Structure formats: C-alpha cells, structure tokens
Amino acid sequence: MIKYAAHRYDDYLNLKISSSLWFYLLYGVRHLVFFSLMKLNPDYVAYVDLLNAQSNWLFIITDFPAALVLLATGHRLPEALGVMRWIWNHGKYMLVSSYVFGIFIFLYLNQSLIKNPFTDNNILLITILCLDILIIIFIIKSELIKDIFSEFPPKPIKN
C-alpha cells in the first residue's frame, strides 16, 4: 500500500528525495563551500563574520559524512554499487553525525560562546548553533526522511 501521494515516488517506486532533505544535505556541506570561498577570496571571508566563523579546515571533516550521503543521492539506481547502498541505508545516521560533529567543532572553535553566550558578537553564532540543532531534531523525528532512507531500487535480476 502506498503511504504517500503518488507524486512523491520515482520510476522505481521509491520515495523521491524531499525538498527538506535536499536542504539538509546541502546545508550539511556548507563548510566545504565556505572553505572554498576562503581559499578563493581570503580577504572577503575575513570581513564576513558568518563565513569566518565556519571556514576552518576542521569543518571539512564534519562535512564528510553529509558529502557521502549527497554523493549517494545520485546513485539511487538498480545498478548502484554496494557501498552506495550501504551509505544510503545509513544516510540518516551519517547526516545526523555530520551535524553533531559540526556542533562540537563549532563550540570548540568558538569557546567565547560558552563563556559569554549573549553578547552582540555571539548572536549570529547562537543562531547557527540553534539551526543545526533544529535540523538534527527534524532529521531524527521525520517519518518521511526515515522512509526515504529505507528505500533503494532493488538490484536488477540477472538471467
């Protein structure tokens, strides 16, 4: 029995990736973009607090699980490699771990946030932190995201 509306399914009768999951995946690799901007134009990054706070090379490590899940989105095909199937089946936990590790690195790099959280300079940092926490909650609680990660097109039958 179909649990969701027909437009939510692809040609293989698996759930399509929802717009919210696309946002969580792309936001999960934002540090890669920020780090790239830092390398391309370091002067600009130094003056923009948001970019400066999130362009440390340590964040690339935290983005790695989310990047793998993002890569697996393009491999949701019957002929996909086993590693892509494994990544996709564990994608929810990989995505959550990416955000959790990101929060730990973020707090480590911004220790002033812990010591004195409510200064004018820290409001942006608190906003980023709260958004990451909300995304973790949405990923964990969403039945749709759970169902999306549980589906992968079956391997083709060999004659």
pLDDT digits (tens, 9 = 90+) for 54-108: 777 888 899 999 999 999 999 999 999 999 999 999 999 999 999 999 999 988 8
Q: Give CA–CA dist 132/75, Å, rounded.
A: 26
- For 36, 37, 88, 128, 138, the CA distances from 124, given in Å and listed in that order, are 21, 19, 33, 6, 21
Q: What is the mean pLDDT of the chain?
A: 88
Going from N- to C-terminal start, the domains of the chain cover: 6-150
Give the pLDDT confidence of 17-62 residue by residue, as tens digits: 999 999 999 999 998 887 787 777 767 655 666 666 677 788 889 9
Give the pLDDT confidence of 96-142 residue by residue, as tens digits: 999 999 999 988 887 877 777 777 667 878 888 999 999 999 999 99
- For 95, 104, 142, the CA distances from 29, given in Å and listed in that order, are 10, 16, 20
Rounded to 5°, angle at Cα 138 from 136 and 144: 130
Q: Calculate helix-pair angle for 143-150, 91-109, nearest 10 degrees.
A: 120
Does the structure show a pLDDT above 80 at 159?
no
